[in-house]
Structure 1
Amino acid sequence: MFKPISLYIGLRYTRARRSNHFISFIALVSMIGLTLGVAVLITVLSVMNGFDRELKTRVLGMVPQATISSTQILTDWPELAKKVENNEHVTGAAPFTQLQGMLTAHGQVSGVLVTGIDPKYEKKVSIIQDHMVEGSIDNLKKGDFGIVLGKQMTDSFGLGLNDYITLVLPEATPSPAGVVPRFKRFKIVGIFSIGAEVDSMMAYIDLYDASTLLRLPDGAQGVRMKLDNIFLAPQVSSEIVRELPANFYASDWTYTHGNLFSAIQMEKAMVSLLLFLIVLVAAFNIVSSLVMVVTDKKADIAILRTLGASPATITRIFIVQGTIIGVIGTVAGAILGVIFSLSISSIVTWLSSVFGLNLFDAYFINYLPSYLRWQDVGIIVVLSLLLSFIATIYPARRAAKIQPAEALRYE
């Protein structure tokens, strides 16, 4: 069977047991370094993509992506919601009223951001209904003073569905005993679990009950929107508010969570660059190992030249040998990287539970997300193969310049 001579000899050199074990060791180190570099790069990028996706889907699925608010209570908010939904990028609109306070039960106190909502409209803009573990936001009824809390919040208080909790408002109320904060008792009618920091800091009540607590007319402070592209939030909210009277103003997620998103993007870029250096170092190891092979094989190269092999043939022989090292290391690294990316969340969760580690206290979610993007895998594999090929050029050209007479003079 016909085989190109350069491919045949290059594969033969790759499979052959070298008399110089140090050269074999350097080639093995190059392959292992390339494997580890590619695997770690794919795994870390998958984790960073996971954080990015969780921020977009979970956190930004609960907090407003964009809002149109007024300095006055909107008693005709349904009309504003219809105007907002006329924008081509707005997929849903819902009223809201926000207030801050503290929840207390069983002698414990915790700060909370309470949002008054209309359950029918809220389903259009929020993912809360999809993450209810007990009860439903439909249980929020006008005048019943029900409340929906996150699971982390209820667990910290030792409460469950249909238990009661007290909301303390910062507004002081005069009484015969002096000035005291305002208190209101709520019944827990729903518990949600997002798996993020919002579980311990957000609560939902009926829109009318929120107005009652704030002693305001029946209405809403503003309208929150859900967009088909969250990165258009500043542009869309600005366009809408320009068509409204002067007492309206816009806000969006870039004011509340923009720094977090930017930090994730910057960290992803910097970590990727640093880990890519591992692949680059492994490629340089291929250069050093091939240079040693060329030095070791001078006699063989000289014999091939005397038998009629051209410099181009010699160049291709060593390009094949170095490329094989790169292909094996890259493919092995890609396989390991994909396996780790798909299982890293379970592995880290198991390690955290076994050793009692709190690895995610500093993050906005309480688990390690991982999202494998095949385009990232493809880019990493292509770049690794390209670096491996480039690393073979210098040693291969050096081998092609060897003169048979000089190489065989002392043989």
Structure 2
Amino acid sequence: MFRPLSFYVGLRYTGARARNSFISVITLISALGLMLGVAVLITVLSVMNGFDRELQTRILGMVTHLSVHGREPVQDWHALAKRVEGHDGVLAAAPFVQMEGMLSYRGNVAGTMVNGIDPQAERKVSIVGDFMEAGELSSLKSGDFNVVLGYGLARKLGARLGDKVTLVLPEATISPAGVMPRFKRFTVTGIFRVRAEVDSLYAYMNVEDAARLQHQPGTVEGVRLKLRDLFSAPALGWSLQQELGPEYYTSDWTRSQGSLFQAIKMEKTMMTLLLSFIVAVAAFNIISSQMMLVTEKRGNIAVLRTLGASPGMIMRIFMVQGSLIGLAGTLLGTVIGVLLATNVSDVAAWVERTFNAHLFDAYFVNYLPSQLEWSDVLTIVGISLLISFSATLYPSWRASRVQPAEALRYE
């Protein structure tokens, strides 16, 4: 005889056509609901992972992972960079000088954060050189007083390559005409576009030109670092500060952008919780179909009991039947979800082309990003199987409590 018997009978009940077609419909709806819930969960979490990746690449590719500031102007940034690059977890270092000011061009004015950089070293710690809309980052040569603007900033000013823009610094100078703000004209030699907020805020110039504007030629504020693991920035910053001593202090990305990633993490958690209700609804359908099946099979259960089947065997029979429904729905949903997650970017692009729609122009990316994480898939599959299995416990227990004499009285 086929062993175990409970699995064999449960398998037969799953494949057999119910006398009441309504039960079969409910069973099919249960499997489809479970499949839909798993597929949607995998797809949505993959899209959120994609947005998270783009945020890390684009925003944190422009924002400093970790910076080391001198309490006094740093004279030899090469020595400081060499010192911190020897620390485990630091990939590269580049000097910087930061200033706040306003840029003016033909009556248009926009506030800006001016970053003095070394173009060659900056490529090692920032992605700005990879997102040049026009011009080159290497055009920022010492003494030429050139500037590279963000795309949004250039649009606000109405400036293009070759235009002369005026930088207004908040530092006041005394002249025969009275107290005057400081002005300096720059030539626009590049425009970058990363489709993030920094496009409307950042401007870049050569670090030596920036130092001259601050009346501290040959110095920098400090060095910015690119880390192997950006989430280690707080701990690494504390370690570097202890190692470098009181002459320096550190600042990391979590102070300026940490709230953004915490919000995304919270949103991902809430989306997972809300979409899990789809799986929960499917589980209730499994309970409903199982309860109706138990009622329909009362005669069969009574016969099995009179032939010597124990209550435990009866319970296992219906647990097998319900678990197979959950397994089928989960596996089908996983396959569909993985296929959707890996192709959702192409599907969204096809929709845009077909209907001439611009779905993502308002976002910092012009496509729908997706990144499939197998850890998420395994977690979703595990939760779905656990919920499906749990949904079979009560109906199976009710089946095991059927009394043979009472069930056969009206047969």
Q: What's the TM-score once normalised by structure 2's chain length?
A: 0.88
Residues 73 and 217 in structure 1, CA contact (< 8 A), matched pair in contact too: no
Distance 1:393 1:245 in 2: 63
Residues 162, 327 of structure 1: alpha-carbon distance in 2 compared, 3 angstrom cutoff = farther
Residue 340 of structure 1, CA deviation:
3.3
TM-fit CA distance, 1:8: 4.1
- Deviations, residues 119-177 of structure 1 (Å, cap 9, x unaligned): 22212222222333433322210011122233344455555444443333233455676
Structure 2 distance, partners of 1:368, 1:168, is 39
Alpha-carbon RMSD across the aligned residues, in angstroms, is 2.9
1:319-343, Cα deviation, whole Å (9 max, x unpaired): 2221122122212222332233334
Q: AA paired with 2:60?
A: L
- 2:73 paired residue number: 73
Work out the CA distance in 2 between the residues paired with 1:357 and 1:276.
26
CA-CA distance at 1:345 after TM superposition: 4.4
Q: Deviations over 1:169-221 (max 9, x none)?
A: 23345567665543333223333332322222212110011112223222101
CA distance in structure 2 between the partners assigned to 1:355 and 1:101 by the alignment: 38
Partners of 2:406 and 2:45 in 1: CA distance: 50
Contact 1:195–1:367 (CA under 8 A) maintained in structure 2: no
| Aligned residue identity for 1:83 | R
Deviates more, 1:31-40 or 1:64-73: 31-40
Q: Which residue number corresponds to residue 239 of structure 2?
A: 239
Aligned to 2:216, what secondary structure does the other structure show?
A: coil
The change in CA–CA distance for 1:22 and 1:94 in structure 2 (over 3 A counts) is same
Q: How many residues align?
A: 409
Matched, 1:209 2:209: yes
C-alpha distance in 2 between matches for 1:35 and 1:164: 60
Going from structure 1 to structure 2, the CA distance change for 1:327 and 1:105 (only over 3 Å counts) comes to farther
The reply to whether residue 388 of structure 1 matches residue 388 of structure 2 is yes
Distance 1:185 1:391, change over 3 A: same
1:193 partner letter: R
Q: Is the 8 A contact 1:305 1:404 kept in 2?
A: yes
CA offset digits 1:38-73 (Å, max 9, x no partner): 122222322332233233322222111111112322
Aligned mates of 1:220, 1:365 — CA distance in 2: 34
Decide whether aligned partners of structure 1 residues 228 and 371 sit closer, same or farther in structure 2, where only a CA change above 3 A counts: same
- Summarize deviations over 1:1-38 as a string: whole Å, max 9, x none: 96754444433333333332432333233223222221
Of 342-351 and 324-333, deviating more is 342-351
Q: Which residue of 2 aligns with 1:274?
A: 274
SS at match of 2:189: strand
Q: Residue 132 and residue 341 in structure 1: after superposition, are their counterparts in 2 closer, same or farther (change >3 A)?
A: same
What are structure 2's unaligned runs of at least 5 residues?
none
Matching of residues 176-191 of structure 1 within 5 Å: 180-191=180-191
Q: Secondary structure at the match of 2:168?
A: strand
In structure 1, what is the equivalent of residue 167 of structure 2?
167
- Classify 1:56/1:308 alpha carbon distance in 2 versus 1 (closer, same or farther; 3 Å): same
CA shift, 1:365, in A, is 5.8
Check whether the contact 2:38–2:279 (CA below 8 A) recurs between aligned residues.
yes
Q: Which residues in structure 2 correspond to 1:8-87 (within 5 Å)?
A: 8-87=8-87
CA shift in 2, pair 1:377/1:358, >3 Å? closer
Q: Distance in 2 between matches of 1:400 and 1:32?
A: 28
Seen in structure 2, the aligned counterparts of structure 1 residues 155 and 370 have a Cα distance that, compared at 3 Å, is farther
Distance 1:76 1:107 in 2: 40
Whether the aligned pair in 2 keeps the contact of 1:75 and 1:217 (CA below 8 Å) is no
How far apart in 1 are the matches of 2:339 and 2:324? 23
Letter in 2 for 1:88: D
Residue in structure 1 matched with residue 115 of structure 2 by the alignment: 115
TM-fit CA distance, 1:355: 5.2
Cα distance between partner residues in 1 of 2:204 and 2:382: 49
